[in-house]
Structure 1
Amino acid sequence: MSRRAAVVPVDAERMVAEARRAFFVVVGLLAVVWAVQVVNWGSGYELGREFAVVPGEVGRLPDVLVAPLLHWSWAHIESNSGPLFVFAFLAAYRGVARFLGLTVLVAVASGLTVWCLERANSGTVGASGLVFGYFGYVVVRGFFDRRLVDSLVGVVMGASYAYLLTLAVPGTPGVSWLGHLGGLVGGLLGGWVFRDRRKDRKEEGRNEKVRKEEDPEPAGRPRADLHRELRDLGLL
């Protein structure tokens, strides 16, 4: 067995396993959101009124963790579900534990922004703050982790969904733009907070040595970096 066979499949198998776990976690998240919507709808949206983020009310602060699971209507949840699945999976496939920490950070950032800055006597619920947070995280993750593949994913997603930013600017009618903006900031911050801090530098050094011996191009060139990322994914 070559040294390459001893190194690359381990990385690829680990990534595939994480992606599989991420898929089921995200599907589970959506299942919970829809189950909560059924209960909320059945109660005449009493859950939404009871657990919405209400600005300035100290007793409602814990609701910042619950409000993202609630929606005001079927149209509301339908509009959030597609983007939530896409960006949640892209945010989770590098590690489920990191994704769960990111989710808490984004929910708190989005909820606190609404709680501090939204007009009084209003209630805010919905998963759109999470959507914007995951979007921001996916866009910047590759920059902080220095992974070319993740950087390319971030560029593609940023270019494809740039219109989302128009829903996070002051005065956007019909939406909680403060929740969107807070979630986006939380996601960008999460890119730094949850950046890759691999502790086993010795193993990383050994893997890098093997890759350099097999790579005819010097490290640092874009093509060489891309080749290494594709090998990590098991595509080469």
Structure 2
Amino acid sequence: MTDPQAYARGFAHLTARTVDPLLNLVRKSRAPRLLDLGCGTGVVTAAALALGADVTAVDSDLDMLEHTARAHPHATVRLAALPELPFPDESFDAVAGNFVIDHAPDTPACLAELHRILRPGGTLALSWWKRDEMTATGVLAEAVQLAGLPHDPLPPRDLDPHATPAAFTALLRQAGFSGAGVDTMRWRHRVGLAAWWDCLTAAAGPRFAFILDLDQETTERIREAYFTLAAPYAEEGFPVCAHLAHATR
């Protein structure tokens, strides 16, 4: 479970950067039935509701769902996760998944499921991080190592063999989608270094949660290493990169 309040203060601002381009296809429809896949704290849900969409928001984290339900009472909120979704065929006019396909098992099966629940002509938009350009989280992983602690590399994702734009476009076509393509976005995430430390240790999941369980001396050693490594990004922000896929059923 992730603390929704901590996530909303930190990571939600980072992931919000891709929401507008993610919903570009939705804007071409009139009040579509939209599925916010992996809704988190409801950043996509809020933007889609503002466009007049009839939004169903799903997530596998109950705390996140409760947060979204309170914040957006006009959305339908359900517990669900890929690769099996509890919806009939052709239930939605649009599916938007902001940084959720990174975490889902069996990427081809996930795309087949999303194809199933979209109506003919329905639109799909998905985003995921380009890991080797994710300085915003990589800086803490480096700090752990610099402080002398072993830190395993990121675990492999089912997405990894398909994570390049060309490979993911091919996978979308194999799943039956048309007009498939993948765009790339790069930007700088501007955030206070102390605030970002708090976010990473409180809301980045099990990868960094262990830091706060260490003894005070060790935690402080990691923290000092983090500030040393993060200092060059204090003014212009952390470089990050995301891919955004779009396709039509």
Q: Same fold (TM over 0.5)?
A: no
TM-score, normalisation: structure 2: 0.28
TM-score (norm 1): 0.29
**Bigger helix fraction:** 1
Q: Which structure features the higher share of strand residues?
A: 2
